[in-house]
Chains A and B, each alone.
Chain A
Amino acid sequence: MTYFPEEVVEHIFDFLSSHRDRNIVSTVCKAWYRVERLSRRSVFVGNCYAVRPGRVMARFPGTKCLSVKGKPHFADFNLVPHDWGGFALPWIEAAARGCPGLEELRLKRMVVSDESLELLARSFPNFKALVLVSCEGFSTDGLAAIATHCRGLRELDLQENEVEDHGRQWLSCFPDSCTSLESLNFACLKGEVNAGALERLVARCVNLRSLKLNRAISVESLARILVRTPHLVELGTGSFTVEHRAEAYQRLIHAFRKCKSLKSLSGFWDVAPRCLQSIYSICPNLTVLNLSYAPAIQGADLVKLIRHCFKLQKLWVLDCIGDKGLAVVASTCKELQELRVFPSDIYGTGTAAVTEEGLVAISSGCSKLNSLLYFCHQMTNAALITVAKNCPHFTRFRLCILDPGKPDPDTNQPLDEGFGAIVRSCNDLRRLSLSGLLTDTVFLYIGEYAARLEMLSIAFAGDSDKGMVYVLNGCKNLRKLEIRDSPFGDAALLENVGKYETMRSLWMSSCDVTLGGCKALAAKMPRLNVEVINDRVESDEMEENPSDMHKVEKMYVYRTLAGARNDAPEFVDIL
């Protein structure tokens, strides 16, 4: 091979943006492996138990940006017991020892203690950005440590975490010398912060572009803040509770008019519909709008608002928008790429808020739509077929019919054909969630057509092992498979054991897999961790030594280089 100086190779590698590409070049030869690993700046670990933290730091000593994910996705819905694992501390400790130049840390679904935040705050002099998504285990004390010690912090982004409020004035811990903040998101915090300290902080951080306040922030405070941050691009309002006649409301309208750069809005927890008028002036510029925390806004008011938002690309709403409201979205928001419609009446017997009609309307109006999360009370095959035809660009398609196993109400048929049309039409589909009445046939379609599918979520679906086997044998890019309450058993589990080493993980709960099946899998595939999770709630029925025919309630399988983890709680058996 022609000799290239390492600097040249490294320079060429700089153009490789994706992790996958860098992973591939590192396997070409020893020289490239060496160049690549020393020049890698951004490392992504999709499963924190797939590799030891120390190993990562040893291989990539120049890491500046580290992302780690912990618990499986179904943990979001309380299917993973509380202290299953996913601790951040070992990662922070290893980084502190091996990569002191770390600048950014992104953690998702991990348990982050105050102790680890304190260690983080003290260990990395160049630390710039902390992003925590769906994490738990820390309190405002940990945040205080970050605010106090991270000089030059640019980003503190807390998304949907469970944070204990210890009442410390963590926000006031940002020193007066801190002027570097560009992004601050504490929307998920329940407690109050010192409003004065906040206002002073945002005033001196002249580069602040993204600010997401929590529910405790009053409208008066919001108005004062906006006056000082006219260049804001993303805003999460506080509770937005205000009387429309109040002076504070007038000041708010005035402040909004000054914010010419605002493109993204969220929050609105307690907004009265009338007060939405205050943002009409901003709506024409909005590309992102999240009204999914605002149950008080009913369809008609939503519609009035949305008529102004013709540049919208991303919209999150509650299903009180109704089918008619979605029709308005379809006719107004021609640039729409992502839509999420959340349920507002989960246990109710109430009127169906959105149905297949709303989705069909959206699909005919918004041809650029590529990402969907849709909770509805019913869906038909005909509608799905129409949607598939109208929107062939879906990369993420998640449909949740609230009543599990519900068939097409017009024909009483399963929804196999509808979902089949989606996978046939959308060649770029990477993520799919199924619901409704489904037989093995839908999995036949998925295995055959969903060539780019990476993540599949299955619930209350299928008739037999064949369904799961179709998927395992068919979807060659499958990385994550999560299944609950479906009749797949040992035969399916053991049909293609090699497949699991090509995937990140497999989750199965309330299926027909037995302990014996899990043991067999573990025996055949030593580089997989097969975790059997015993739900404590059923401890009265748990036997001392369950037989191999005992059905496993929850099973989590993942490939790993690290062997069995040593931090598993006693209700987890690693086979």
Chain B
Amino acid sequence: MEEAFTRGEGRPRLLDLISNGRDWRSYAAAEEKKLELRLGLPGGEDWSAGQEKREHPIESALSLGHISKVPKSTNVNASSGTKRRFLVHVEPKTEAFQQQQQQQLQQEQLGFLQLQAKGKESLQQTSGSAEQQSLEGKGCGPHPPHASSTKNAAVAHTASQSRVAATPVVGWPPVRSFRMNLAGTAKASAESNNGSSAAAKKIENDKKSLFVKINMDGIPIGRKVDLKAFDSYDKLSLAVDELFRGLMAAQADPLAASTQKNSEEKHVLTGLMDGSGEYTLVYEDDEGDRMLVGDVPWDMFVSMAKRLRVLKSSDVSASSLRAVGRKRTSNS
């Protein structure tokens, strides 16, 4: 394929762009917004549908040129298509190309680099794999950062250009959880030591994420949520509901696990914060006391909450009132 890239005219414009670093970059930037990250398996309907969405004719040309080759090169069960897969670049390592890689990697708009599903498409460079070219032309370095959960995928998917920080990849960087949160306080503390508490507050709010554990009664597996990803109790409640609904249904009826998408929402977790639902959301603050979620302003809650729990509402009154009573001056 190297030859294909370097041959002259008659090639689709996209391929020409690859050898011209500058154009590539601006092209990529312009296209980013339109880039549909959802790439189904080529040869299938998804692919064509995705192509049509793109206005740029070059993509169609590229895809038409390669669409027949791709099915052979994948070793995925094409019919099921349950996972989105991406053919990641196996690039000819020309200098200019590497420059683009570098530029792309340096771009903070990792949204369009996050072409993830779970796991990348096979990069198996068995001999003669020159045909395995990137179909979604732009954006994939050979080693793009991967979010290894669909949740992260969704976040990056909708990432707009205003997102400045890297989308967190699960388990990366390889530091223990307690160091992740510690990191955020670095700037805040520095500012407040300079006597500028307003700045400290601002920096505190600019912290990129705050992961806290969340456990639910009756479910042995806990999760973590990023409080900074929400800006209100409603959003948190919704996220908690989504997080555990699947797990609860799976526990209740393991066979139903795969049919989650039905609208049988017997286990919807509503009323998490007003005591009206079957479950109630509580949090533990830095002194270890359990408090009902929803009493204090959202920002204050974020700064205080160290851990979340979803308890059966019947349990809440028994065990937590004592702690709550100490903290609150009036009854709920």
Residues in chain A within 8 A of chain B (CB atoms):
74, 76-79, 81-83, 160, 165, 167, 190-191, 270, 272-273, 292-293, 295-296, 298, 318, 320, 342-350, 375, 400, 402-407, 409, 412-413, 433, 437-438, 457, 459-461, 463-465, 484-485, 487, 489, 491, 509-512, 514, 535-544, 547, 549-551, 553, 569-570
Contact = CB atoms under 8 A, between A and B. Distances in A.
A471 B288 CA distance: 47
Interface centre among B142, B143, B150 (most CB of A within 10 A): B143
A342 B101 contact: no
5 contacts: A165-B288, A273-B193, A295-B189, A437-B141, A551-B76
B273 interface: no
Interface of B: 75-77, 80, 82-83, 90, 95, 98-99, 101-102, 105, 108, 118-120, 122-126, 141-146, 148-151, 164-166, 168-180, 182-183, 185-187, 189-190, 193, 208-209, 220-222, 224, 246-247, 250, 254-255, 257-258, 260-261, 286, 288, 306
Given A347-B168, A437-B142, A512-B124, A400 B183 contact: no
B120 A407 contact: no
Given A298-B190, A347-B208, 20 more contacts: A76-B176, A345-B183, A345-B187, A346-B173, A347-B183, A347-B209, A349-B108, A403-B105, A404-B144, A405-B144, A412-B99, A437-B142, A460-B143, A460-B145, A463-B123, A510-B118, A512-B123, A537-B151, A547-B77, A551-B119
A280 to B, nearest CB: 19
Nearest to A461: B143
B190 A79 contact: no
A349 B257 CA distance: 40
Contacts of A78: 170-171, 177, 224
Contact of B246 (A270, A343, A540): A540
A570 B250 CA distance: 11
Contacts of B182: 293, 295, 344
Contact of A344 (B186, B208, B209): B186
Contact of B145 (A404, A457, A512): A404
Nearest to A269: B182
A569 B102 CA distance: 43
A400 B247 contact: no
Nearest to B121: A512
B98 A413 contact: yes
Given A407-B98, A541-B83, A547-B77, A345 B186 contact: yes
Contacts of A484: 171
Contacts of B306: 190
A510 to B, nearest CB: 5
Nearest to B97: A412
B191 to A, nearest CB: 10
A438 B142 CA distance: 9
A325 B199 CA distance: 26
B266 to A, nearest CB: 17
Secondary structure type dominating chain B contacts: loop
Contacts of B122: 487, 489, 512
Nearest to B186: A295
B212 to A, nearest CB: 13
A437 B143 contact: yes
Given A295-B185, A345-B186, A348-B208, A463 B90 contact: yes
Secondary structure type dominating chain A contacts: loop
B149 to A, nearest CB: 5
A551 B286 CA distance: 41
Contacts of B247: 536, 539
A460 B186 CA distance: 28
A347 B166 contact: yes
A538 B150 CA distance: 7
Given A412-B101, A535-B149, A542-B258, A375 B143 contact: no
Given A165-B288, A167-B288, A295-B183, A537 B149 contact: yes
A491 B98 CA distance: 28
Nearest to B206: A348
B177 A540 contact: no
Contacts of A413: 98
Contacts of A535: 149
A537 B245 CA distance: 11
Contacts of B222: 82
Contacts of B189: 270, 295-296
B173 A343 contact: yes
A511 B119 contact: yes
Contacts of B120: 485, 487, 510, 512
Given A298-B190, A402-B173, A464 B101 contact: no
Contact of B124 (A77, A167, A344, A465): A465
A83 B172 contact: no
B250 A539 contact: yes
A372 to B, nearest CB: 14
Given A76-B176, A346-B180, A540-B246, A407 B101 contact: yes
Nearest to A404: B145
Contacts of A412: 95, 98-99, 101-102
A373 B166 CA distance: 22
B124 A487 contact: yes
Closest 5 CB pairs of A and B: A405-B143, A295-B186, A487-B123, A347-B208, A77-B171
Contacts of A510: 118-120, 146, 148
Nearest to B146: A485
A270 B122 CA distance: 47
Contacts of A298: 190
Contacts of A402: 173
B299 to A, nearest CB: 19
Nearest to A296: B189
A487 B246 CA distance: 31
Given A484-B171, A547-B77, A540 B221 contact: no
A198 B325 CA distance: 29
B166 A403 contact: yes
Nearest to A465: B124
Given A298-B190, A404-B143, A511-B119, A550 B221 contact: no
Interface centre among A160, A484, A547 (most CB of B within 10 A): A484
A347 B165 contact: yes
Nearest to A554: B148
Contacts of A538: 118, 149-150
B45 to A, nearest CB: 19
Nearest to B192: A296
A208 B98 CA distance: 59
B148 A509 contact: yes
A459 B260 CA distance: 33
Contacts of B126: 464, 491
A160 B175 CA distance: 12
Contacts of B165: 347-349
A369 B170 CA distance: 31
Nearest to A541: B82
A562 B260 CA distance: 37
A375 B175 contact: yes
